[in-house]
Amino acid sequence: MPNPRLTGLGSGLFCAAVMVLLGYLDDLLFGASLTVYGVLFVPVSLLTAVWVRRGDLLTAPVVVPIAFAVGLVTVAETGDGGVGGRLMGIVTALATEAGWLYGGTLVAGVTVLVRRIRLVRRRAAARNRPPV
């Protein structure tokens, strides 16, 4: 399994790009199903939280909801096709798919929290180790 370490900006770009790509695939294969999009969002959130580097851990729970909204542009209903219709489709999708948004953000937050606790414990153990 690859083990990249993304910066805060890199994790945001990764997550947004993957969500846009998955949104297009969802539109192509499933007719823009918001449920499929939400289900795909959760593992992307997990990968983003796992692949962000230690120094930027706290950015993962911030960038995943932004990436969710960015990817919604590809699957949200357009209404009459204008800018207002697209915006209303995005707002409606955010409201109706809030459970997936919160779930993916929670997954990223818990993953980051566990990684942070392990990092702090590892540093404390190294500090308390007697000199050789």
Largest CA distance in the chain: 72
Beta bridge partners, 6, equal: 52
Tell me how far apart the alpha carbons of residues 42 and 48 are, in angstroms, rounded to a whole number.
10
Q: What is the pLDDT of residues 96-114, one digit of tens each?
A: 999 999 999 999 999 999 9
> What confidence category does residue 4 fall into, taking pLDDT thresholds of 50, 70 and 90?
confident
Q: Average of pLDDT values for 5-17?
A: 95
The single-letter code of the amino acid at 106 is L
Q: What is the pLDDT of residues 36-59, one digit of tens each?
A: 999 999 999 999 999 999 999 999
